Chains A and B, each alone.
Chain A
Amino acid sequence: GQSLEQPSEVTAVEGAIVQINCTYQTSGFYGLSWYQQHDGGAPTFLSYNALDGLEETGRFSSFLSRSDSYGYLLLQELQMKDSASYFCAVRDGGSNYQLIWGAGTKLIIKP
């Protein structure tokens, strides 16, 4: 079957760096996306990787290794407002723009 695996919860300290991993097993692959969702809010798009390597957007970076079916989201200089759930998602290429979603990682930030 098709699946994405990510940790259910990660805890970090304000000002630190945290990495959220995602491994995927899908029949096809176009790219890996990351979304952020605050409690009670809607998911919002953070980043997308189609090619191997690191993409940086401010304090957030996302990495992809297609050969390892693996990616991660790196958050630097953590702020309390980064406390949220983070989802990885893959478009497997087979269907009409559907995304396959991980179950989400809840990021807890301590002062």
Chain B
Amino acid sequence: DVKVTQSSRYLVKRTGEKVFLECVQDMDHENMFWYRQDPGLGLRLIYFSYDVKMKEKGDIPEGYSVSREKKERFSLILESASTNQTSMYLCASSPIQGSQETQYFGPGTRLLVL
């Protein structure tokens, strides 16, 4: 069964802290994505990666960076957390062959920045 896991379900951080969100998938998917989800705004893409060590900016990359050292793991880094980064963060993965239209999501991390 397809599985995407995220390191934390809930996280509380202080303004200025460096925050790491980790995502692991066990499906050998090439593509991995980080989204944030805010009420009324749907899913907005922060970064995605289509291969190890490869990354591309999404729609809202400012204030974020990513790391993909291994195929199964994609990390999102908030260099200096700010209150406007309080949000739900969703990781997803998809293959590049076959059902590439389908993205498989992790359970999400609800981040509160105080």
What residues make up the interface of A, taking CB atoms closer than 8 Å to B?
Answer: 8, 30-31, 33, 41-45, 48, 50, 87, 91, 95-99, 101-104
Contacts and interface: CB of A to CB of B under 8 A. Distances in A.
Interface residues of B, number: 25
27 contacts: A31-B101, A33-B102, A41-B107, A42-B105, A42-B107, A42-B108, A43-B43, A43-B92, A43-B103, A43-B105, A45-B102, A45-B104, A48-B101, A91-B101, A96-B31, A97-B31, A97-B50, A97-B96, A97-B100, A98-B33, A98-B48, A99-B103, A101-B42, A101-B43, A101-B44, A103-B42, A104-B42
B56 interface: yes
Interface of B: 31, 33, 40-45, 48, 50, 56, 58, 90, 92, 94, 96, 100-108
B15 to A, nearest CB: 26
Given A97-B96, A98-B48, A44 B105 contact: yes
